[in-house]
């Protein structure tokens, strides 16, 4: 009976992901991971580790996790890492709790964290996925994973197209900004547009 109940719960949350048109192989891969993973593997988990365990590329797993967070299957964690001593601070559950200027609790170094550098994202399974398991923190395990795979930058998850639509409560307060250390500038030009504007006139060509 217990096994039947577990599979029933699993089917329910999988159907929730399918409503977002998540590819079936990704839904099934997440189901297999949830079924076999130890509880510490799903606590403040590095998305890169989950991608590795599911046998999927990180670029596919991040949109899956955004949808899973929106469905209440995972909660987010945002962690700031000190650039001086490498110590990680407490994990905030909302971007609004991450200060644009911070001080390390260990070495007292003051620094400005960036979304693509020193701010990383983790996910923790909720009771919807693991109703019988207790959250179990294993700092040594997480540190070993981060050292091997590297932490997942916060910007990688924020840049997922559906992030702002599905996780709309994760916003930075007005007047406070979390910067990007390595911005990307994209310039695009329409071929022969100068001649076109000259021939048609600015207003007509723009229209």
Over residues 30-87, the pLDDT tens digits come to 999 999 999 899 999 999 999 999 999 999 999 999 999 999 999 999 999 998 998 8
pLDDT band at 6 (very low <50, low <70, confident <90, very high): very low
Beta-sheet pairing, 74-80 with 119-125: antiparallel
* Percent residues over pLDDT 70 in the chain: 90
Strand partners, 120: 79, 153
Q: What are phi and psi of 28, to 5 degrees?
A: -70, -35
Q: Average pLDDT, stretch 171-186?
A: 71
Q: What is the pTM assigned to this prediction?
A: 0.79
Taking the alpha carbons at both ends of the chain, their separation in whole angstroms is: 66
More confident residue, 178 or 91: 91
pLDDT band at 100 (very low <50, low <70, confident <90, very high): confident
The yes-or-no verdict on residue 8 having pLDDT over 70 is: no
Asked if residue 115 lies in contact with residue 157, where contact means CB atoms within 8 angstroms, the answer is no
């Amino acid at each position: 009976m217990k096994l039947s109940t577990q599979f029933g719960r699993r089917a329910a949350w999988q159907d929730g992901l399918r409503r977002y048109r998540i590819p079936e192989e990704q839904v099934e891969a997440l189901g297999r991971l949830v079924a076999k993973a130890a509880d510490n593997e799903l606590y403040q988990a590095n998305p890169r580790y989950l991608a590795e365990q599911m046998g999927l590329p990180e670029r596919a797993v991040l949109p899956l996790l955004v949808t899973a967070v929106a469905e209440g299957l995972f909660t987010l964690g945002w962690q700031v890492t000190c650039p001086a001593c490498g110590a990680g601070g407490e994990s905030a559950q909302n971007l609004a709790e991450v200060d644009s200027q911070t001080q390390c609790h260990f070495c007292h170094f003051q620094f400005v964290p960036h979304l693509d550098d020193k701010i990383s994202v983790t996910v923790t399974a909720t009771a919807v996925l693991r109703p019988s398991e207790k959250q179990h923190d294993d700092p040594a395990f997480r540190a070993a994973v981060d050292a091997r795979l590297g932490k997942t930058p916060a910007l990688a998850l924020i840049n997922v197209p559906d992030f702002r639509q599905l996780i709309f409560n994760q916003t930075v307060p007005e007047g406070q900004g979390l910067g990007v250390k390595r911005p990307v500038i994209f310039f695009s030009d329409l071929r022969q547009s100068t001649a076109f504007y000259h021939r048609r006139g600015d207003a007509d060509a723009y229209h």
